[in-house]
Amino acid sequence: MPFWLGTLYSFSMTSETLPKIDYAVATRGLTKTYGHDSTRVEALRSVDVAFARSKFTAIMGPSGSGKSTLMHCLAGLDSADGGEIIIGGKNLLSLNDDQLTEMRREQIGFVFQSFNLVPTINAQENILLPLSLAGKKHDEAWFDTVIKALGLRDRLNHKPHELSGGQQQRVAVARALLTRPEVVFGDEPTGNLDSRTGAEVLSLMRSSTREMGQTIIMVTHDPVAASYADTVLLMKDGSIVGTIEEPTVATVSEALASLAE
């Protein structure tokens, strides 16, 4: 038995134990299927998982393991078929589209692999976009803190196409952090970056959990990226099959390799 299976479900999902640890995101019995009959794919098979607050969690797994589906459902971008997703005390599955949209605006941040920014407006406007869509003022001090942390002071007036790939991702991170959401989701946030720039962005994300207490959940297939996380969740065939605490490139690679067997 691989070593990491020993830590599987170190936390139990019963309601009595839930309050003991402070979770930012939790699911119960989450299911999602695509297609019908012969093309039927069970993307999520009754997933029960909880993500601790102020931690950086990476979700990994081979193609088709359901990691992206899980993240999209958790982020309220896609609808699950059954179960519960609790963020900020609310079950996402019981919300209508407008409520879900407000949820995304206020409680959830995003960093996508590419096409993160609206091309017609400059960096600062992109960072402020979720707040301005909600018609809300931003907190100047917090804005300064985030900008300073991400080193974007000189780039605020640039349009996205005038920024490098790394700078674009940093703007996206700044945008995600600015609303102080319950959770920030990253969908391969460094997938399009070279390794040095990628490392820079990942360090920034990790320090935001350490220094700002931000919860981050990231989907990646890159063991190097995953090694920046506090915890790695492993998925296969729509189920969580393991976790790795304090992951390193080596442990993650080994775990992935054995998953593929």
Partner 1 sequence: MLHVALSNIKTYARRYIAVVLAVAIGTAFLAATLAVNSSTQATLKNSLGESYKNADLVAYSDPNLDPETTEQTSFTLKETDDIRKLSGVTEAYGLGYAYGQMHTSDNGYNVQVQPVDPKQGLGGMELVEGRAPLSNNEMIIDQSHAEDMGISVGDVVALDDEQGKAQNIKIVGLQRSSTNPQTSAYALAGMSEKAWSNFAGEQANFNDIVIKGDGALNAVTQEVQDYFADKKMKDIAVVTADQKVIDDVAQMTGGTDQLTVVLLIFALIALVVTGLVVVNTFSVVIAQRTRELALLRILGAKRKQIRSSVLLEALVIGVVASVIGVLLAVALLAGLIALLHALVPSMSYAAMAVTPVGLIVPIIVGILMTVIAASLPARRAMKLAPLAALRPFDSASVKNRAGIVRIIFGAILAALGVALLIFGAVKGDLIVAFLGGLLSFPGILMLASLFVPSSVAGIGKAFAGKSTSRRLAALNAVRNPGRTTATATALLIGVTLVSMIMVGGQTAKASLNNSVAAEYPMDMAVSFFDGTADEAKAKELAEKINDVDGVSATTTFASTTAELDADTGADMGLDGPVQLQLLSVNPEEFSKTVLDQQIVPKPGEIVLTGWDFGKPTIKIGDKTLKVRETSALLSGSPIAEETLKTLGLKNAQTYPGIIVKVDEDVAGSKINELVTEISDITGVDSSMIDGGVVMKSMFSQIIDVLLTIVSALLAVAVLIALIGVANTLSLSVLERTRENSLLRALGLKKKQLQSMLATEAVLIGGVAALLGMILGVAYGLLGAQSALSEMGKMTYSIPWLQLIAVLAISIIAALLASIMPGRRAAKLSPVEGLATE
Residue ranges in contact with partner 1 by CB under 8 A: 72, 75, 77-79, 97-98, 101-102, 104-106, 110, 112, 114-121, 129-130, 132-135, 159-161, 175
Instruction: In angstroms, give the least distance from the CB of 255 to partner 1.
Output: 27
Instruction: In angstroms, give the least distance from the CB of 207 to partner 1.
Output: 23
Strand order in the sheet with 56-60: 108-111, 183-187, 216-219, 56-60, 231-236, 239-245
Give which of 71, 82, 80, 75 is closest to 29, Cα–Cα: 82
Nearer to partner 1, 21 or 134 (CB): 134
CA 172 to CA 179: how far, in whole Å? Answer: 12
Instruction: In angstroms, give the least distance from the CB of 121 to partner 1.
Output: 7
Nearer to partner 1, 178 or 244 (CB): 178
> What SS3 class is residue 108?
strand
Instruction: In angstroms, give the least distance from the CB of 247 to partner 1.
Output: 27
Nearer to partner 1, 102 or 230 (CB): 102
Which residues make Cβ contacts (< 8 Å) with residue 241, sequence separation at least 6? 8, 234, 235, 259
83 close to 46: Cβ distance less than 8 angstroms: yes
Nearer to partner 1, 162 or 246 (CB): 162
Residue 165 C-beta-side C-alpha neighbours within 13 Å: 15
Nearer to partner 1, 217 or 255 (CB): 217
Nearer to partner 1, 21 or 41 (CB): 41
- The DSSP bridge partners found for residue 185 are 110, 217
CA 172 to CA 186: how far, in whole Å? Answer: 10
Instruction: In angstroms, give the least distance from the CB of 210 to partner 1.
Output: 25
Instruction: In angstroms, give the least distance from the CB of 252 to partner 1.
Output: 26
Task: Determine phi and psi for 245, rounding to 5 degrees.
Answer: -90, 150
